Amino acid sequence: MAESTTNCRILITGECGQVGEALRRTLAPLGEIYSPTLDVLDLTDTDSIRKIVREFHPRWIVNAAAHTAVDKAESEPDLAFAINATAPKVLAEEARSLGAGMVHYSTDYVFNGTKKTPYVESDATGPLNVYGSSKLAGEQAIAASGAAYLTFRTSWVYGATGNNFVRSMLRLAAEREHLRIVGDQYGAPTWSFELAQLTAHAIAHTEQLAAQSHCSLVEAMLPLSGLYHATGAGETTWHGFAAQTISGWQKRKPELKLATVEAITTAEYPTAAKRPVNSLLDCSKLAATFGWHMMDWKDSLTRVLDELDA
């Protein structure tokens, strides 16, 4: 499938993030990668965005850039909306103008978390915080742009690089004797590298459809365009995620004295931004459309811990 994308141009935003870093490695076999740094691509400047896109003229735009500081977004909503809503809108408009495909990443935080079962793509949204509201606005702007796009909603992203929950827990577990972690918010940890692998698969799949049908990329992609849930399989809480992480690390590092982990309620750990109780997403549509089944979060965590221990 990679043959049809050889020498195509792929623009990746968010080069300094954990998903962006994984995308650069994973998408490299598919074509020419351009991942401008923040000093080159200013995501708060629409003219900068349009200039970069038009000069590079990509066949694919993969937008991994985001304002992800959930609590900080409460005090800087303009910046959150500029990066999470306006920038994706401009990228989608440029994609449509060029006849390019667009891949975007969104979040479980577009939901209010009151549903008792995993959310499907068609469920009503209702974000509880500025971050979720800004990401929802980005989703809606892309959908309204007329571009051919894939928006992957994900949750609790982590990996062996970047700032994330796993790396924070390992650092804190080595520094402290006891950790108190929220145990009444449910979700599914998602490996950043698997998101990148999924993206490569979706791009190659779409390119293969275009080649087989002898049509343009946009013509092949429009029937697939829309929202897809893409999170690790299984479920846990933040406490369960922390406990599994520290336990797995202890097995690899028996000589270390690591912290014990206690489950607490959300009420016992107040934050600036309200979090949904249920962040579980149903990924059936992803499997049905692209034949992609996300890894169980415990299996991907094992892979990440192995990488950190290498």
Active-site residue set? 131
User: Contact, 223 vs 211, CB < 8 A?
Assistant: no
Which residue type, as a one-letter code, is found at position 8? C
**Residue 55: burial class (beta carbons within 10 Å; 0-12, 13-18, 19+):** exposed
> CA 127, CA 164: separation in Å to the nearest integer?
22
82 secondary structure, DSSP code: I
H runs (alpha helix) in the chain: 18-27, 46-56, 70-73, 77-81, 87-98, 130-144, 165-175, 192-213, 217-221, 238-252, 284-290, 297-309
| Two structure tokens written together for 86 | 């306006």
User: Contact, 28 vs 76, CB < 8 A?
Assistant: no
End-to-end CA distance of the chain: 31
Question: Would you give the distance in Å from CA 170 to the centre of its chain?
Answer: 22
User: Contact, 194 vs 294, CB < 8 A?
Assistant: yes
